[in-house]
């Protein structure tokens, strides 16, 4: 492939032996905008996780199990696929450690790699007496048709949505950091703190920005084109000083030199270049994001808004299910289905955009957790099997996320069994009552238990946090049985919201996922302590055509009937007569 | 009280400002023999957890919530009770840190305090420029009628019981430590490794001993009276060199000076004196006990033996239940009940002693988790309410532990509800199927869930490991939802055994505990991974008179009936006709 040749030509000119390109924007965002998709451009591989290492003779791409098939198809000739987690395949870190020799040179862009990984490579280079250059970005010279970066207009999410002014939130953070300073690079943390929103990354209502806070000052770094006079005035009023986004490095450097206390930062989202700026001063203090913990606990106003958003959103999804089932035999495609539900959502009050590209996966496609139908590659829905639809919206009143797997016609008994057990797991977690202090690690088995009993496991977490008109995936809490890589295990706290999405994925056959979003609420306080429980925000019927009660306990059946009663009660008032009749039947007692 | 006066007199002579007495024998044993019960002798308090600090004017005793009432009753005049965990009550550590002044002196016996606590006090003294003396033990001069320490005869537990020779076990440990040395002070670790047993501590078949191991040598330190010629010969054959118990300190000192590699040790069980000996060399390496992890996973022979031991033991407990229910109106006391079950156990094959003093607690007494009826304080059983019996035996074929709460007559609906929910929790955990890699923290909610739903919680773990003809409480694994204090969270592994004992404790009213012992076994391997499940070793009927099925799901009912079918099948063959008839009824389907 030409591009590798061009890269190697540049490498020779620069005296670089290894050119490393990760999947990382300067803020460690989960969704990367096209401008930062260097790894994709240089390797051909379009998946969401991958690292490219171009050596003098060879080139390698590391990715995980979700993408082995896809990467093998897409990778340019001359790039070897490194299957992460497979036996005998070294990790990127092992590879670098074992390969780099004395006197060699590694090139990368320090803004496009995490502080943690950068520090590792730097350490290796130091030990090997190799050279690390962090100013190498061949997209500048080699990516001819590189898309422009978008700096959209920032807007203010009013207090009637957020429940708390930016200045009050800033006050809370100041209280937590005392005399220290805090440098924030994670976009949704900055958006939450300032009550600003933007549209720089699709599906994430964020502006590219940094924020620097201490007891006296609060600086936000935004691109000048992003700020209109109203926002400028708003920032002033909230006590936030505007600075230029592109000047962050020098501004930070200057600040760090003068600072008295520690500069706290979140290692996971900080890029290596800015990490170095802080680290060189010796004043840096890595910690788990303080803001993430505050943002995760929704306030009363947010909860009121969210509850409403989920009702509207659930009405749309319910209507979609009715539609798609009634048109099972009409030759619709996965794309048609996605377009239909997207259109329904688009009409809802406060709708901004989707919270992620709708997953509409028919039959075997649904076995791929991150399948995306495209114009070049989609299936036609037939009146048999199932359609999995995982979708959500960004509203001023919150962010939604919901999955239903919908029966389109005949399904096998095995599918019914897997479907029913997934539903039982979802319901058991949803109905848990648990002691204050429990984390998602304590609860996960409720959701996974019915499937584990038959030797089935889904290879992902059970649940993630969700932003408020922000990112659809948000920490710090989660539901899963394994220890988190960062060793953190935050307890579930009243006001958090979390997804509950067990499923079954049989490669080449079918995929099932049933996802409700739950709000953590107080259950009761007794002499034995404080107890919490969940309240479902999602109110969408579960397809009874795939339920076989012989796989359910009396408790499971009770949970299902109670949930469907709730759905009926909340959703019916928004439906017309014939829709109500349909819902009545879709939520009948089993 | 005179004793405090006498202590203070000595303190003045020695120039000591604080005399500290903990509950700790030189090996950090859970059960302390009478010889080492200094804290009890000096304070009057007989509970199993307490720390006495005698100051010049005042004296304090710290203990936990289980013992507040008892300690208040028993403590000698002049000693203030420090209620651990209550608001405003400083911990011992905080108290020492805040109280000790420059130039003052703390006295304690370094052999009778943990390395961890000793190191803490040493650090405080260093910072405060205070003096720490670790050779102060006033029992020597002030405890006139101090019981003798017992060094019983050691005996060899044959390979037909243990399944593996001492020399092979030593080989395994040597493989794990490489070129390091290992110093072992925990008695059951040494007993497991050497296949020796003793009787120096009631209910713990252990000899007072230390062990020092490296790639060439294995030294066991035993009291010379403990070793008969046969044992001496046995040790030689296993490659174990005998040394004198009382000479351990100087021997260790000498060894440490000469040693090349690290000296590994288990911080939790090592006393401060010996810790210092290792620590001073700079060669010490604290770690979680390697042996504990090996000992916890029972081998095939042990499992075969254990399975048999539990059948015999369960037959005895079943007979006891029949007896006690038939004699509910006969005016038996708690002590009579305990004596009866102890007698039944005494006749079983391979019986050595009890694995802990039988808890026989009637009605409100059962609300105290660690109640012990004594000649001075016991209740008479009436034909109403319930009797909780928690008991177990030491057999050459293993260690047992089982609790049943037995209906003696009329009980309230509330009791039935709590009883039924406890049984449901026990059964749900027992029937769990779970992914390899899960720890007890992932599973605990299965057991606690039914009680949590109504706001009830038991303030202890759900389950503990159990030794093989060794201590009834054994690590490293456990079942509980909270993080362990040491931060360790070992996964459950096939071959481990663990208790499953949810319960309800209502102060002044009643106590319920239902305890089965479970063996971790392989459930299945599928493309999704390896799965584990439990096999119940305990086979004793659950009292159906306290079961109300309206609190059970269809799944719970199925679990109960299946368990009772298993009990019937395994236990019936050992019973006579009338007993069989009784069991038939006691295990009938609900």
pLDDT value at position A487?
A: 84
DSSP 3-state assignment of B501? Answer: coil
CB atoms within 10 A of CB B85: 9
ipTM comes to 0.92
Alpha carbon distance B360, A60 (integer Å) = 68
Domain contains B150:
no
- B432 in contact with A, Cβ within 8 Å: yes
Structure tokens at B451: 């009680």
Q: Which helix (H) or strand (E) holds B425?
A: helix B413-430
Q: Are residues A119 and A186 in the same domain?
A: no
Angstroms from B446 CA to nearest CA on chain A: 8
Closest CB from A449, A523, A554 relative to B553: A554
Q: How many helices (H) and strands (E) does chain B have?
A: 19, 28
Domain contains A587:
no
Contact B11, B181 (CB under 8 A): no
Q: Give per-residue pLDDT as tens, A569-582.
A: 999 999 999 999 99
Q: Are residues A382 and A497 in the same domain?
A: yes
Last residue of one domain, picked from the residues B87, B109, B142: B142
Q: Are residues A103 and A221 in the same domain?
A: no
Query: Of A298-302, B62-66, B80-84, B218-222, which gets the smallest average pLDDT?
Result: B62-66
Q: Are residues A305 and A244 in the same domain?
A: no
CATH number of the domain within which A423 lies? 3.90.230.10
pLDDT value at position A122?
A: 96
Q: Are residues A243 and A362 in the same domain?
A: no
Q: Give per-residue pLDDT as tens, B384-429.
A: 999 999 999 999 999 999 999 999 999 999 999 999 999 999 999 9
Angstroms from A557 CA to nearest CA on chain B: 10
Closest CA to B488 of B297, B291, B287, B269: B287
Domain contains B149:
no
Average pLDDT over residues B278-299: 94
Last residue of one domain, picked from the residues B142, B175, B190: B142
CATH number of the domain within which A259 lies? 3.40.350.10
* First and final C-alpha spacing in chain A: 59
In chain B, which residues have their Cβ closer than 8 Å to the Cβ of A435?
448, 452, 457, 481
Alpha carbon distance A536, A557 (integer Å) = 17
Closest CA to B216 of B259, B266, B155, B268: B259
Average pLDDT over residues B472-484: 94
DSSP 3-state assignment of A470? Answer: coil
Closest CA to B405 of B442, B359, B467: B359
DSSP string, A506-539: ETTTEEEE-BEEEEEEEEEEETTEEEEEEEE---
Torsion region of B256: left, alpha or beta (phi above 0 gives left; psi -120 to 50 gives alpha): alpha
Q: Give per-residue pLDDT as tens, A222-251.
A: 999 999 999 999 999 999 999 999 999 999
Domain contains A584:
no
Domain contains A461:
yes
Q: Do B452 and A531 touch (CB under 8 A)?
A: yes
What is the DSSP secondary structure assignment for residue A288, as one 8-state letter?
S
Q: Crossing angle of helices A577-586/A300-326, nearest 10°?
A: 90
pLDDT value at position B24?
A: 94
Contact B95, B60 (CB under 8 A): yes
* First and final C-alpha spacing in chain B: 59
pLDDT value at position B376?
A: 87
Which residue carries 């296993």 as its tokens? B238
Alpha carbon distance A227, A233 (integer Å) = 10
Range of the domain at B61: 2-142
Strands A263-265 and A284-286: parallel
- A435 in contact with B, Cβ within 8 Å: yes
What is the DSSP secondary structure assignment for residue B214, as one 8-state letter?
-
Q: Which helix (H) or strand (E) holds B242?
A: strand B241-244
Q: Give per-residue pLDDT as tens, B435-454.
A: 999 999 999 999 999 999 99
Structure tokens at B399: 């260690």
Omega before A476 within 30 of 0, i.e. cis: yes
Q: Are residues B328 and B285 in the same domain?
A: no
- Residues facing residue A405 across a β-bridge: A388
Alpha carbon distance A198, A27 (integer Å) = 15
In chain B, which residues have their Cβ closer than 8 Å to the Cβ of A554?
553-555
Domain contains A503:
yes
**Which residues 497-526 of chain A have a CB within 8 Å of chain B?**
523-526
> Is the pLDDT at A493 greater than 70, yes or no?
yes
- B483 in contact with A, Cβ within 8 Å: yes
Q: Are residues A401 and A449 in the same domain?
A: yes
Q: Are residues A517 and A492 in the same domain?
A: yes
Q: Are residues A212 and A228 in the same domain?
A: yes
Q: Give per-residue pLDDT as tens, B220-232.
A: 999 999 999 999 9
What is the DSSP secondary structure assignment for residue B491, as one 8-state letter?
B
Contact B209, B274 (CB under 8 A): no
The residues, any chain, with a CB within 8 Å of residue B462's CB and separated by 6 or more, are: B429, B440, B444, B447, B448, B479, B480, B499, B500, B501, B502
Torsion region of A508: left, alpha or beta (phi above 0 gives left; psi -120 to 50 gives alpha): left
Angstroms from A484 CA to nearest CA on chain B: 13
Contact B273, B191 (CB under 8 A): no
Last residue of one domain, picked from the residues A261, A294, A327: A294
Q: Are residues A456 and A530 in the same domain?
A: yes
Q: Give per-residue pLDDT as tens, B152-182.
A: 899 999 999 999 999 999 999 999 999 999 9
Torsion region of A387: left, alpha or beta (phi above 0 gives left; psi -120 to 50 gives alpha): beta
DSSP 3-state assignment of A259? Answer: coil
With cut-offs at 50, 70 and 90, classify the pLDDT of residue A82. very high
Domain contains A221:
yes
Torsion region of A222: left, alpha or beta (phi above 0 gives left; psi -120 to 50 gives alpha): beta
Q: Which helix (H) or strand (E) holds A126?
A: helix A115-128
Q: Are residues A98 and A23 in the same domain?
A: yes
Q: Give per-residue pLDDT as tens, A520-568.
A: 999 999 999 999 999 999 999 999 999 999 999 999 999 999 999 999 9
Query: How many structural domains compose chain A?
Result: 3
Q: Give per-residue pLDDT as tens, A426-456.
A: 999 999 999 999 999 999 999 999 999 999 9
Angstroms from A578 CA to nearest CA on chain B: 36
Q: Which helix (H) or strand (E) holds A93?
A: helix A92-99
φ and ψ at residue B583, rounded to 5 degrees: -65, -40
Closest CA to B266 of B293, B295, B288: B288
Closest CA to A26 of A134, A113, A135: A113
Domain contains B576:
yes
Q: Are residues A203 and A94 in the same domain?
A: no
pLDDT value at position A8?
A: 95
Query: What is the residue-averaged pLDDT of chain A?
Result: 95
The predicted model scores a pTM of: 0.93
> Is the pLDDT at B1 greater than 60, yes or no?
no
> Is the pLDDT at A150 greater than 90, yes or no?
no
Contact A65, A83 (CB under 8 A): yes
- A529 in contact with B, Cβ within 8 Å: yes
> Is the pLDDT at A300 greater than 70, yes or no?
yes
pLDDT value at position B268?
A: 86
What is the DSSP secondary structure assignment for residue A385, as one 8-state letter?
S
- Residues facing residue B155 across a β-bridge: B197
In chain B, which residues have their Cβ closer than 8 Å to the Cβ of A441?
441-442
Contact B200, B151 (CB under 8 A): yes
């Amino acid at each position: 492939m030409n591009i590798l040749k061009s890269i190697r030509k540049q490498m020779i000119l620069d005296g670089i032996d290894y050119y490393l390109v990760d999947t990382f924007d300067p803020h460690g965002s989960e969704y990367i905008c096209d401008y930062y998709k260097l790894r994709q451009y240089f390797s051909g591989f379009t998946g969401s996780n991958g690292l490219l290492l171009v050596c003098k003779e060879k080139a390698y791409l590391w990715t995980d199990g979700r993408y082995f098939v896809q990467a093998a198809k897409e990778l340019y000739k001359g790039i070897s696929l490194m299957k992460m987690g497979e036996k005998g395949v070294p990790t990127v870190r092992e590879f670098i450690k074992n390969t780099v020799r004395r006197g060699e040179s590694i090139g990368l862009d320090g803004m496009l790699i995490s502080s943690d990984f950068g520090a590792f490579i730097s350490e290796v280079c130091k030990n090997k007496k190799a050279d690390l250059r962090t100013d190498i970005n061949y997209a500048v010279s080699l990516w001819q048709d590189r898309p422009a970066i978008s700096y959209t207009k920032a807007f203010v999410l009013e207090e009637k949505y957020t429940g708390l002014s930016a200045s009050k939130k800033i006050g809370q953070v100041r209280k937590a950091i005392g005399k220290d300073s805090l440098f924030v690079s994670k976009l949704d943390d900055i958006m939450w703190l300032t009550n600003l929103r933007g549209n720089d990354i699709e599906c994430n209502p964020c502006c590219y920005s940094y924020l620097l806070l201490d007891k006296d000052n609060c600086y936000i770094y935004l691109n000048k084109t992003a700020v209109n006079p109203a926002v400028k005035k708003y920032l002033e009023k909230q006590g936030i000083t505007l600075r230029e986004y592109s000047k962050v490095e020098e501004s930070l450097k200057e600040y760090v030199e003068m600072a008295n206390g520690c500069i706290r930062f979140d290692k996971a989202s900080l890029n290596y270049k800015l990490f170095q700026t802080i680290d060189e001063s010796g004043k840096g203090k890595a910690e788990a994001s303080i803001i993430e913990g505050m943002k995760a606990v929704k306030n009363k106003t947010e909860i009121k808004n969210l509850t409403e958003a989920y009702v509207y959103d659930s009405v749309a999804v319910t209507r979609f299910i009715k539609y798609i089932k009634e048109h099972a035999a009409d030759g619709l495609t996965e794309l048609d289905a996605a377009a239909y539900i997207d259109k329904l959502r688009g009409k809802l009050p406060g709708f901004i955009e989707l919270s992620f590209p709708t997953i509409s996966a028919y039959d075997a496609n649904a076995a791929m957790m991150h399948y995306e139908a495209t114009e070049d590659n989609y299936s036609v829905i037939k009146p048999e099997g199932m359609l999995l639809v995982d979708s959500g919206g960004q509203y001023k009143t919150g962010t939604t996320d919901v999955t239903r797997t919908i029966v389109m016609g005949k399904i096998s008994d095995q599918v019914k069994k897997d479907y029913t057990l997934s539903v039982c797991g979802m319901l058991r977690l949803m109905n848990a009552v648990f002691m204050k202090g429990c984390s998602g690690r304590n609860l996960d088995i409720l959701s996974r238990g019915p499937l584990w009993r038959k030797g089935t496991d889904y290879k992902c977490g059970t649940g993630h946090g969700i932003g408020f008109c922000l990112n659809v995936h948000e920490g710090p809490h989660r539901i899963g049985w394994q220890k988190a890589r960062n060793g953190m295990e935050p307890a579930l706290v009243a006001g958090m919201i979390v997804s509950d999405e067990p499923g079954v994925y049989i490669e080449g056959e079918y995929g099932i996922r049933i996802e409700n979003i739950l709000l953590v609420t107080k259950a009761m306080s007794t002499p034995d302590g404080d107890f919490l429980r969940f309240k479902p925000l999602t109110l969408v019927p579960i397809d009874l055509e795939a339920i076989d009660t012989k796989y359910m306990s009396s408790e499971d059946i009770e949970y299902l009937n109670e949930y469907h009663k709730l759905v009926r009660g909340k959703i019916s008032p928004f439906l017309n007569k014939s829709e109500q009749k349909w819902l009545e039947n879709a939520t009948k007692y089993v």
